[in-house]
Amino acid sequence: MGGIFFVVLFSGGMFFLVWYLNNKKKTELMSKGQIVDRGNNFYKQAHTFTTRTGDFSAIARAIDHYVLGENKITFEPYIEQGQIVFNNRVNFGSFRARLKTLGHQDGQYYYQFQVETWSEGQYGMTRQDLFGANILLTAIEKAFLRIDPETGADRMAATYKTKTRLF
């Protein structure tokens, strides 16, 4: 009987510790302005930005490379092909995302950001992956708004690939 009580108490303590550390990290990143509060499925959506800016290289330069590097997110611009590839490799998972041009119409330019693949632990996308994807999306949103404060954003369900890791 005492063993079951210990297991329940230990499990509850571990759950609380993980919850506490997650909230502490989230609060810290939000206070630095590196993330915004988002639903947990934001990384499963395609984010389309509408702007008057047609200079993709200016958008690439406006993305905060320091914040990305600090969070182990690589930045691979392919300006001629109209895309930037991002990779995040952390201890318990990774993701690959892309910002690409979609074209223009009536003076408006369209760009799309999407997390395309990620590997996840046994219980889903890890906390580090979620924070990394949020940091990246926030940096992209801020870049668009610095260049064009009138930038709009739409979100829709996206197609993606996952790789499940057991360990």
Question: Whole-prediction pTM value?
Answer: 0.82
Which one has a higher pLDDT value, 13 or 111? 111
Averaged over 75-86, what is the pLDDT?
Answer: 96
Identify the CATH number of the domain defined by range 42-164: 3.30.310.80
Most confident of 26-30, 31-35, 95-99, 163-167: 95-99
Residue by residue, DSSP assigns 53-119 as ---HHHHHHHS-HHHHHHTTEEEEEEGGGTEEEEEEEETTEEEEEEEEEEEEETTEEEEEEEEEEEE
Domain coordinates in residue numbering, the chain: 1-31, 42-164
Give the pLDDT of residue 128: 54
Of the chain, the percentage scoring pLDDT greater than 90 comes to 47
Give the pLDDT of residue 121: 58
Q: Is 80 exceeded by the pLDDT of residue 26? A: no
121-162 tens-digit pLDDT: 555 555 557 888 999 999 999 999 999 999 999 988 766 554
